[in-house]
Amino acid sequence: MKLLADIHERNAFLASNSPAVFYEGRTQTFAEYWSRINRIADGIYMTGARHQDRVALLSMNRLEYIEVYGACERAGFIMTTVNFRLSASEIEYVLRDSAPHTLIFEDQYTDIVDSLRPGLNIHNYVCLGNTPDWAQPYEALADSGSLDGPPIRTRADDVAVLMYTSGTTGRPKGVMRTQRGEARQAETMSNVFSKRGDSRQLIMMPLFHVGARCLYYSTFWLAGAVHVQRKFDPKLVLETIQNYRVTHLHLVPTMVADILNVPEINSYDLSSVELLLYAAAPMPVSLLKRGIATFGNVMGNGYGSTESNFTFLAPHQHHPDGTPEQIARLGSVGQSFPDVEMRILDDEGTDCPIGTPGEVVCRSDSLMAGYWNNGPATVEAMRDGWYHTGDMGYLDHQGYLFLVDRKKDMIITGGENVYCREVETAIERHPDVHEVAVIGVPDEKWGESVRAVVVLRPGASLTEAELIAFSRQQIAHYKAPKSVIFVDELPRVQTGKISKVALREQFKHPVAGPNAH
């Protein structure tokens, strides 16, 4: 089968002068992209990296991010993405667990990387920007490589990328996605999202996330171009759509709301948009109607994870003013992709009847290979070839999936996944905290907000602001609680476990007004 490296080489031949990547005034053609990734791959190889060695990248969105992805796909290195929003201790864990041969980092993270170096066993440091004397400049690395690339090539069963996703135990898990799976995913999403050679995909979601990666490589599948933006800027999104005739974009609902609130939005020509994917969080019907009124009937929803992608609710399935059944289906996440088998299982592993909730499980050619260095988690998630998501849902009579709960106790805030246990573990490190339970509460801006319900040790005195500040030193800011409630004791069920159901009912009042994320 064709792998992503084969597609890059094919595009360099058949669409050599067509644009591949646009970024801050720079345009890179497919021929230029192929040359660059060969030279970068060979440059990394010449420093001693070999087949399936890890190459980690700590960076915000930029053109070079897609180059490093491509270089790893060409040579058979394992690309390890590092979430730049993580705390220093979280970054250290990812780097120690993945043990990369090479770490490529933006110069804004030099101090963090330098502070971690004594505890890491990394052979080669490469810097994007102002380079310290202990690292190699990125362009020097690229210039050192051959246009022919390294004398190694990727294979179908190689691990292509290692993406760390937070786990319920409080430690991130490295999701292994294979070259075969990535190619299959690219082809499937290219077809499902109706991409062509003249498609233009706008990427402003972080490229360390699986969502942004899938959307750019599914565009490359048929030699479409991607526009990379460093971060989300509502007016810049509108200007890019108008000036470059963007056809596809991915926005979480909070971003959609920010764009729709731009005062002069009606002055922009948005007619080129064919798909606005709002996967990652639920879309309120009122906001959905505003989006359709502005962009046309181009809204699409989806459901997936770093481990696999599952479903799609296409634009033609969005009927906010339709029949009761059609309106109800706006609460679903759509139907399974053509290459995905999906089932709903009860606790005994038996298929649930239509309309009965159970655990969502799936299998496909694009499913992850497992968790890096974590056999127990792999065994728990992958059973008989089926991935057990931990999410609870049910299917209607036409296979539309409705999610009803999250077995994994996860909060989705602004499109980011936050696991309660991870936050609880961080807060428990405070010496004045006796006990804590974390829940998600409604938030008018972020969809859900992290709230901590805390029992202090006898005689201790601690304020909400102090505990939030402490949490932000332990974990990424978006994971830290936005509100803290102090109580004398936590409600429990008969077995003695904390009752999250009772907590959510008692402290479900939403966070009102804008707040930092």
**3-class DSSP string for 238-271:** HHHHHHHCCCEEECCHHHHHHHHCCCCHHHCCCC
Q: How far, in Å, CA of 289 to CA of 280, rounded?
A: 18
CB atoms under 10 Å from CB of 63, counted, come to 18
Pairing relationship of beta strands 19-23 and 225-228 according to DSSP bridges: parallel
**CATH T-level assignment (fold) for domain 4-178:** Rossmann fold (3.40.50)
pLDDT of the residue at 169 = 43
Farthest-apart Cα atoms in the chain, separation: 73
Query: The whole model's pTM is what?
Result: 0.84
Q: Which architecture, in CATH terms, is 297-406?
A: Roll (2.30)
Domain positions in the chain are 4-178, 297-406, 410-506
Q: Encoding tokens for residue 123?
A: 């052979």
Q: Contact, 283 vs 252, CB < 8 A?
A: no
pLDDT of the residue at 12 = 98
Q: Which architecture, in CATH terms, is 410-506?
A: 2-Layer Sandwich (3.30)
pLDDT of the residue at 393 = 87
β-sheet bridge partners, residue 29: 19
3-state secondary structure (DSSP) of residue 310:
strand
Q: How far, in Å, CA of 458 to CA of 401, rounded?
A: 47
Mean pLDDT by 10 residues, the chain (517 residues): 93 98 98 98 98 98 98 98 92 97 98 98 98 98 98 97 72 93 96 97 95 96 98 96 97 89 96 91 79 96 90 94 91 93 93 93 96 95 93 92 75 83 87 91 88 93 95 93 94 69 84 49
Q: How far, in Å, CA of 320 to CA of 299, rounded?
A: 11
pLDDT of the residue at 512 = 54
Name the burial class of residue 299, with classes exposed (0-12), middle (13-18) and buried (19+) by CB atoms within 10 angstroms of its CB: buried
- Torsion angle of the four alpha carbons 438, 441, 444, 449, in this order, in degrees rounded to the nearest 10: 10
* Neighbouring residues of 324: CB distance < 8 A, sequence distance ≥ 6: none
CA angle, corner 448, sides to 446 and 452, nearest 5?
120
Q: Contact, 421 vs 170, CB < 8 A?
A: yes
